[in-house]
Structure formats: C-alpha cells, structure tokens
C-alpha cells in the first residue's frame, strides 16, 4: 500500500513516445553481481529500478520492474527537449519528487488530495488550482481529460493499475510508471528524483542535490559505526486486526534500523515485503525490546493500547519508549513522513539514530518522529 493506504500511484512525448514492456536485457545492460541496471548516461548508485541511456541520438529513461514481484519487465520513455508542463501525480511521493527538483508548479492534478501534507499544495487544491482526480478504480476520467495533462505519474501494486493505465492511454494520455516504492534502500527511493529530473531536463542539479542527501546519510550511518555503540534491541510495527506484520530483511525499514544501529527483536526473513506473524509471537519477542518504533497510525499510547490487549505486556510500552513517524501530520491524515521523507532519508535516519542512541545527536530535535504520550500529558 502507498501511505499504507500509503502504498497507494503529451505533448512532449507525442510521436517519439514509447511505453512498451520488454525484457529488461533489451532495455538496459544487466550489471552483475548486484543486478543493478546501468545506462550510458546515468547509472544509479542505490536504485535498482531505472537508468538513463543515450543511443542513436536519443535519450531514454528506462524503468525496470516497477511493480511488486514483477520480473523482466521494462518501460522505455523517450526524453524530449520539451519538458511536460502539466502533470498528474498518483502518489504523494511523486509530489515530493517534483518539489525536490523544483517542478511542483507543473502539478495540475493529484490522486487523493486528502493524503497530501504540503501546506502550499493543499492551499492550491482548496483554490481549485490543483484538482483531485480520485484514486484506484474511482478515477474521474472526465476530470483527467479536462486537465489535459502532458504526463500522468503512476504506480502499480503487482500491476493492479495496468488496466486503468490502458484506459488512459486509449484516451491519448501518457502514463509513466514510477517504481520507487520497490527499492530496497532508502537512498534508492530518493534517487528516483533523478528519473523525474530526466523527464524535465534538469538532471545535473538534481544529481548534485541527491549526492548531498546521500553524503549526509552515509556520514550519519558511519558515525554510528565509529561510535562503537551496541545494537539497540528494537520492536518494529504494531498489531493490525489479529496479525502483526513484520518488515522483510531486504526492505527499507530494516535497512534504516541497521544503519541507525538497531537490531530487530523479531528475526526478519530474507525478503523485501512485509509478512505476518501472530500477535502472541510478536509480544513474546517484544519482551527484550529497548525501543518500539513504527506503531501504525497510533499517535498516543492510549490509541496503541486500544489495538490489542497484549500491548500492555510489552515492557517498552510500559516505559513509554514508543516512537512513531507522526510528528508531521495534518488533521486530514496527510503524513510528511511518506511525502518529503521519501527524498530526505538522511533526516529519517538521523531521527532513528537519536531515538536509539541519543548520546550521538544530543542537540538535534526529531523531524518526522515523536515519542508517544498519553492524552493527559499532551
């Protein structure tokens, strides 16, 4: 899910446009042994899902396997000297990328305006300068057509958006798949800003800006290693109905925890996506946790307590050592963690380091995270 609802996603393309699924070997050369793809114009340092090529006098953005569990599928987009001026974003992460590269003024439509956090864009939606086009199977095709977008930035969970994309293309609209949410590394997600920049012809400043983000992230990570601090035992996630979903060892959450000097008290399986275990099993493992992170939608200890009766058996809960990425949320539920946090993993990492090892960043305040309290203490 995007934003767990959260994991919910031309004229400049006209004659030269191509949106064709091919074997990735035809789109980009496979780089072994880590299976990154490489382009002769730009090869990502951390991302696995895109590259930029030049060949035959044309520049091409190739997006590889943009859906969960997709394999050997690539979409190729011919890049033009005329950048898009009107775009629709199907995910709040796309909004963050456009702001990162300085092209947010091109946004004329979004999917689910209520999920936005950015106050300026929310104000633009309220004025009618940006339209809400709906989401999933309830997209307002008439409104999308009326907006006359040059491009629609989309995502697909296991290809679920494909049928809708086909309808949009039948109407003469250009759909560009963005697969940042499939990346294993937080910096891999952020590096998709370069893919956006390629579509708008502003690669160089974006590459430099991303390099600064990566350098800061790496410096924070390395400072934890240099400190020699012991791994902080950490409980991740929270009950959901009668299940506890655990992040995979190859996913972003596990990478952030490791880079911040933490260790999951639940053994993580070698996979990218989350997987379910019983609440009883999770609570048994939780007995040794020093810190509890990422507790779903909970903003107070009372809300967390209401999720399941066994929550109160967890020592980190009783100590109040519970933190969630809800410091920047608006009343409508829009979360900046899932918006600007996508392009600022260095700030997320610093937050988690400060929580797990407060002695390393004593003067810094938290950006996206906050410690949960009872309502009476708020």
What is the domain-level CATH number for residue 317? 3.40.50.1980
Average pLDDT of every residue of the chain:
88
Q: Which residues of 186-197 are buried (b: 16+ CB within 10 A; e: fewer)?
A: bbbbbbbbbbbb
**How far is the C-alpha of 77 from the C-alpha of 45, rounded, in Å?**
21
pLDDT over 60 at 317, yes or no: yes
Q: Which residue has the higher pLDDT, 153 or 24?
A: 153
SS3 track for 288-322: HCCEEECCCCCCCHHHHHCCCHHHHHCHHHHHCCE
Identify whether residues 201 and 254 lie together within a single domain.
no
Q: 110, 97 in Cβ contact below 8 A?
A: no
**The token pair that represents 151 in the structure block:** 């491009």
Most confident of 14-23, 56-65, 116-125, 128-137: 116-125
Identify whether residues 141 and 271 lie together within a single domain.
no
- Predicted local distance difference test score (pLDDT) of residue 22: 33
Q: Which residue has the higher pLDDT, 321 or 80?
A: 321
Q: Which residue has the higher pLDDT, 205 or 163?
A: 205
Average pLDDT over residues 277-301: 97
- Predicted local distance difference test score (pLDDT) of residue 55: 81
**How far is the C-alpha of 167 from the C-alpha of 173, rounded, in Å?**
9
**How far is the C-alpha of 146 from the C-alpha of 143, rounded, in Å?**
5
Average pLDDT over residues 134-147: 90
Residue 221, domain member (yes or no): no
Q: Are strands 87-89 and 74-78 parallel, antiparallel or unpaired?
A: unpaired
Average pLDDT over residues 29-56: 77
Q: 153, 94 in Cβ contact below 8 A?
A: yes
* Residue finishing a domain among 209, 241, 273: 209
Q: Which residue has the higher pLDDT, 267 or 362?
A: 267
Residue 224, domain member (yes or no): no
Residue 214, domain member (yes or no): no
- Predicted local distance difference test score (pLDDT) of residue 304: 97
- Predicted local distance difference test score (pLDDT) of residue 160: 65
Q: Which residues pair with 246 in a beta bridge?
A: 275
- Predicted local distance difference test score (pLDDT) of residue 351: 97
Average pLDDT over residues 350-360: 96
For the chain, the residue count is 378
153 — pLDDT class (breaks 50, 70, 90): very high
Identify whether residues 65 and 139 lie together within a single domain.
yes
- Predicted local distance difference test score (pLDDT) of residue 161: 73
pLDDT over 80 at 373, yes or no: yes
**How far is the C-alpha of 349 from the C-alpha of 354, rounded, in Å?**
9
Identify whether residues 185 and 118 lie together within a single domain.
yes
Residue 4, domain member (yes or no): no
- Predicted local distance difference test score (pLDDT) of residue 20: 36
Q: Report the candidate in 178, 186, 294, 317 with the shortest Cα–Cα distance to residue 247.
A: 294
- Predicted local distance difference test score (pLDDT) of residue 159: 62
- Predicted local distance difference test score (pLDDT) of residue 70: 79
Average pLDDT over residues 219-234: 97
207 exposed, middle or buried (CB, 10 Å; 0-12, 13-18, 19+)? middle
Identify whether residues 203 and 337 lie together within a single domain.
no
- Predicted local distance difference test score (pLDDT) of residue 148: 97
Identify whether residues 306 and 345 lie together within a single domain.
yes
Average pLDDT over residues 147-153: 97
Ordered DSSP codes for 29-46 = EEETTTTEEE-SSB--SS
Stated as kind and residue range, the H or E segment containing 76 is strand 74-78
Q: Report the candidate in 179, 134, 145, 185 with the shortest Cα–Cα distance to residue 159.
A: 179
**How far is the C-alpha of 39 from the C-alpha of 31, rounded, in Å?**
10
Residue 223, domain member (yes or no): no
Identify whether residues 31 and 161 lie together within a single domain.
yes
- Predicted local distance difference test score (pLDDT) of residue 23: 30
**How far is the C-alpha of 373 from the C-alpha of 301, rounded, in Å?**
5
Q: Report the candidate in 327, 316, 322 with the shortest Cα–Cα distance to residue 366.
A: 327
pLDDT over 50 at 249, yes or no: yes
Identify whether residues 200 and 341 lie together within a single domain.
no
**The token pair that represents 176 in the structure block:** 């560009």
State what percent of residues in the chain have pLDDT above 70.
Answer: 88
**How far is the C-alpha of 111 from the C-alpha of 102, rounded, in Å?**
20
Average pLDDT over residues 44-52: 95
Q: Report the candidate in 324, 321, 329, 304 with the shortest Cα–Cα distance to residue 366.
A: 324
Q: Report the candidate in 47, 344, 68 with the shortest Cα–Cα distance to residue 198.
A: 47
pTM (2 d.p.): 0.89
**How far is the C-alpha of 174 from the C-alpha of 3, rounded, in Å?**
24
What's the domain count of the chain?
Answer: 2
DSSP one-letter code for 61: E
Q: Report the candidate in 264, 270, 267, 185 with the shortest Cα–Cα distance to residue 231.
A: 264
* Residue finishing a domain among 149, 181, 209: 209
Stated as kind and residue range, the H or E segment containing 74 is strand 74-78
- Predicted local distance difference test score (pLDDT) of residue 17: 34
Q: Which residue has the higher pLDDT, 18 or 51?
A: 51
pLDDT over 70 at 36, yes or no: no
Q: Which residue has the higher pLDDT, 218 or 156?
A: 218
Identify whether residues 281 and 371 lie together within a single domain.
yes
Identify whether residues 280 and 164 lie together within a single domain.
no
- Predicted local distance difference test score (pLDDT) of residue 16: 31
- Predicted local distance difference test score (pLDDT) of residue 76: 93
SS3 track for 227-286: HCCCCEEEEECCEECCEEEECCCCCHHHHHHHHCCEEECCCCCCCCCCEEEEHHHHHHHH
Ordered DSSP codes for 317-339 = HHHT-EEES-SSB-TT--BSTTT
Identify whether residues 43 and 188 lie together within a single domain.
yes
Identify whether residues 252 and 196 lie together within a single domain.
no
Q: Which domain, by its residues, includes 301?
A: 229-377
Q: Which residue has the higher pLDDT, 290 or 11?
A: 290
Residue 215, domain member (yes or no): no
Q: 79, 41 in Cβ contact below 8 A?
A: no
pLDDT over 80 at 132, yes or no: yes
Residue 6, domain member (yes or no): no
Q: Which residue has the higher pLDDT, 23 or 260?
A: 260
* Residue finishing a domain among 155, 174, 209: 209
Residue 99, domain member (yes or no): yes
């Amino acid at each position: 899910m995007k934003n767990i609802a959260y994991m919910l996603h031309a004229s400049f393309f006209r004659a030269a446009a191509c949106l064709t699924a091919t074997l990735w070997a035809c789109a980009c050369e496979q780089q072994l042994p880590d299976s990154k793809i490489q382009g002769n114009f730009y090869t990502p340092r951390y991302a696995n899902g895109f590259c930029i090529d030049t060949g035959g006098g044309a520049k091409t953005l190739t997006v590889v396997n943009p859906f969960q569990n997709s394999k050997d599928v690539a979409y190729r987009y011919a890049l033009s000297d005329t950048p898009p001026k009107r775009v629709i974003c199907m995910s709040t992460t796309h909004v963050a990328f456009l702001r990162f590269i300085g092209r947010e003024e091109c946004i004329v439509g979004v999917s689910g305006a209520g999920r936005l956090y950015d106050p300026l864009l929310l104000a633009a939606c309220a004025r009618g300068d940006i339209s809400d086009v709906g989401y999933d199977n309830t997209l307002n095709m008439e409104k999308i057509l009326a907006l006359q977008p040059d491009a629609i930035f989309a995502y697909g969970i296991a290809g679920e958006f494909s049928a809708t994309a086909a309808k949009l293309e039948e109407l003469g609209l250009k759909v560009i798949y963005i697969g940042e949410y499939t990346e294993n590394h937080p910096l891999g997600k952020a590096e998709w800003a370069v893919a956006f920049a390629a579509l708008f012809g502003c690669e160089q400043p974006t590459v430099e800006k991303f390099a600064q983000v990566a350098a800061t992230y790496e410096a924070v990570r390395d400072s934890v290693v240099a400190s020699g601090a012991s791994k902080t035992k950490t409980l991740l996630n929270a009950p959901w109905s009668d299940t506890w979903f655990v992040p995979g060892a190859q996913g972003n959450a596990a990478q952030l925890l490791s880079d911040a000097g933490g260790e999951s008290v639940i053994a993580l399986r070698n996979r990218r996506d989350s997987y379910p275990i019983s609440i009883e099993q999770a609570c048994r493992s939780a007995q040794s946790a020093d810190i509890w992170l990422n507790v779903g939608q909970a903003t107070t200890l009372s809300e967390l307590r209401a999720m399941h009766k066994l929550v109160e058996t967890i020592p980190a809960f009783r100590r109040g050592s519970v933190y969630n990425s809800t410091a920047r949320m608006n009343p409508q539920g829009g979360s900046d963690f899932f918006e600007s946090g996508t392009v600022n993993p260095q700030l997320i990492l610093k937050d988690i380091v400060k929580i797990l090892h407060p002695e390393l960043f004593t003067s810094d305040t938290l950006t996206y995270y906050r410690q949960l309290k009872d309502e009476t203490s708020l």
